[in-house]
Chain A
Amino acid sequence: MTNDIIILPLVVHFFLSILLMFFWNKLNFQKIVSVVGNAVALGVAIWAFTFVYNNGTQIVESGDWPAPFGIVFVGDMLAVTLVLLTAIAGFAVSIFSTISVIKARLRFGYFSVFHFLLLGLNGAFLTGDIFNLYVWFEIIIISSFVLISIGGEKSQLEGAVKYFALNFFASMIFLTALGVLYGLVGTLNMADISLKIAEVKDTTLVEISAVLFLVGFGIKSAIFPLYFWLPASYHTPPSAVSAIFAGLLTKVGVYALIRIFTLIYGGDSFLTILLLTLAIMTIFSGGVGAIIQNNIKKVFMYFIICHIGFMIGGLALFTEVAMAGVIFYLIHDIIIKTNLFLISGLIYRIKGTTNMKKLGGLYANYPKLSLLMAIPLFSLIGIPPLSGFWPKISLILASFNAQEYWFFGALIFGSLITLIVIAKLWSEVFWKNQPEISFPEKFIYFNQLRFGQKFTFIFPIAFLTFVTLYIGFGAEHIQQLSQRIATELINNELYIDAVLKR
């Protein structure tokens, strides 16, 4: 059993989603099972994480087929860290979903599909087979499409169609890239591909497949010219759904890029220039987009795009310092982006709108809650002891060492623009007096909720804020972890040896 520990998160989520399908109409029971199940999944993820942390990379050969032939699940440090973060975000969002998502949506199997989404995410992080990665991406797309369109409002369907069309297109490009790669090396196991691609003589085709992968994953992770689906769709579903999308869906694209470009196409000079250019443009366009938005949710969405650029740029530099920064930023970003969308959901519940022009006076009415919300917002900027600060040191240091001053400038620009926008958001939403507007009447406001219901809104935010504070104040541990992952990624022989048992 102990060898199988890394796939237990998959087993737990799969079991939960099937169990929830049996109780299709019993909503209260579904809520309890989902929250308890996510707590169990969190425990399993912590167990798997500590096991891999102490014993090194674990692999599971499904079907007992030896490595290059069968599908392997590889639990290296990067994968189990992301599984742990998924479990943390999933736990928080499932609690947040219980009251904030209305019954009309929950009735259509919301929780079951939610667990399928988490299953897909965990699978994508753990698989060591590139075609299997494609399959997990499909599971993620299908379940996220259900979650984004559940409820069937007009604006939602419009967002869902854009989301689905472009992500489906991305999958097609991913599949094409897979075909080209398979034609070149004749294997699908990522470790095996990594060995065999060095022997391929036709480097043009290798680069073509690399660019195809970049486009496919680039659409999914919303990098510069390919991000237009994200602002068009992420604000339409309920905040709980947006939170899990914001925290994890784009990051799974970033994860795939990290995996592919460290393991298979490491250190190609053409790709370095391409990735750096895209990263700089992504930071710039995301930041500029965030400045002009007036809806809180849309501001946060452009921040997702802006901060993806930080990670892609760090990946392009491809040094250990830069990779440590990327991993640290990824850890920080998953928690913080999930939390930001939960916060926008709470603000919506308090005031009935997320438009900055109509909001105001939050600090006067809810001082304690405002202070709670201030921590993630300040962490996002990277005010020194908080979590956003530490990865930026590594990234800035790495860009300076590599003499990539454009990226250096983009990092400073991205941080500054985040500061400006958050300052604007803080003064508009929290400090400004409440403007005279008519509030919708048929709306259950936050202060009309019972204590237990209020708890389901505040606890997830407090929980994620606590994790953020740990990332900030326990930065030493996270930095050690990130450096270990970075070393494993740069020296990919460790991964290959573990998978192929050489």
Chain B
Amino acid sequence: MRTIILKSASSYLLPVLLLFSVFILLRGHYLPGGGFVGGLVAAIAFVLDAFSNGLDKAKKILKFHPGFLMPVGLMIAFLSGISPMLLADLPMMTGIWAENPIPVIGAIGSPLFFDIGVYLVVIGSSLTIIFTISESV
């Protein structure tokens, strides 16, 4: 599927989709969205690139094996889950929030890091699955 239209479109779409995925990740606090959907959008960005420029180039953009994102994301989510136990003497998974919201991002708290963890796990697992399948085809 190496058509010129797809190729030139995907080179513009990759950064836009990645930005959009971060937007969805951050907006998930108050509106529909969040880590899971954001992760899927980011994964789609790389899959589209793999379609148009070939698997090897997409892997080069990523620089590391996508499977590595899974333990990283899980660890971030895990730490945010137990952070109330360690920091504030509250039961696990309780949301702890910083006092002052930060302009663009909004309120910062442990649920945001949980979401970032989910985001990374979704990117890692979906890209691992898709790359493995397309390698063996």
Which B residues from 53 to 106 make CB contacts under 8 A with A? 67, 70-71, 74-75, 78, 82, 84-85, 89-95
A330 at the B interface (CB under 8 A):
no
Question: How far, in angstroms, from A7 to B92 measured CA to CA in the complex?
Answer: 9
Do the beta carbons of A60 and B92 come within 8 Å of each other?
yes
Count of B residues near A, CB < 8 Å? 16
A268 proximity list for chain B (CB < 8 A): none
A24 proximity list for chain B (CB < 8 A): 67
B89 proximity list for chain A (CB < 8 A): 1
Choose among B71, B74, B93 the residue that contacts A63 (Cβ–Cβ < 8 A): B93
A11 at the B interface (CB under 8 A):
yes
B95 proximity list for chain A (CB < 8 A): 63
A453 at the B interface (CB under 8 A):
no
Asked, given contacts A1-B85, A4-B85, A11-B82, whether A18 binds B71 with beta carbons under 8 Å apart, the answer is yes
Which A residues from 1 to 58 make CB contacts under 8 A with B? 1, 3-4, 7, 11, 14-15, 18, 21-22, 24
Do the beta carbons of B90 and A21 come within 8 Å of each other?
no
Question: How far, in angstroms, from A114 to B113 measured CA to CA in the complex?
Answer: 26
Count of A residues near B, CB < 8 Å? 16
A63 proximity list for chain B (CB < 8 A): 91-95
Question: How far, in angstroms, from A11 to B84 measured CA to CA in the complex?
Answer: 13
Asked, given contacts A1-B85, A4-B85, A15-B78, whether A22 binds B92 with beta carbons under 8 Å apart, the answer is no
B93 proximity list for chain A (CB < 8 A): 62-63
Chain A residue with the shortest CB-CB distance to B75? A18
Asked, given contacts A15-B78, A18-B78, whether A60 binds B91 with beta carbons under 8 Å apart, the answer is yes
Q: In the assembled complex, how far is the CB of residue B67 from the closest CB belonging to chain A, in whole angstroms?
A: 8
B75 proximity list for chain A (CB < 8 A): 18, 22
Q: In the assembled complex, how far is the CB of residue B134 from the closest CB belonging to chain A, in whole angstroms?
A: 20
Which residues of B line the A interface, CB within 8 A? 67, 70-71, 74-75, 78, 82, 84-85, 89-95
Task: Give 26 pairs: A residue, B residue, CB < 8 Å, sorted on A.
Answer: A1-B85, A3-B91, A4-B85, A4-B91, A4-B92, A7-B92, A11-B92, A15-B78, A18-B71, A18-B74, A18-B75, A21-B70, A21-B71, A21-B74, A22-B71, A22-B75, A24-B67, A60-B92, A62-B91, A63-B91, A63-B93, A63-B94, A63-B95, A64-B84, A64-B90, A64-B94
Given contacts A11-B82, A24-B67, 8 further A-B contacts (CB under 8 A): A3-B91, A4-B91, A21-B70, A21-B74, A61-B91, A62-B91, A62-B92, A62-B94
Which residues of A line the B interface, CB within 8 A? 1, 3-4, 7, 11, 14-15, 18, 21-22, 24, 60-64
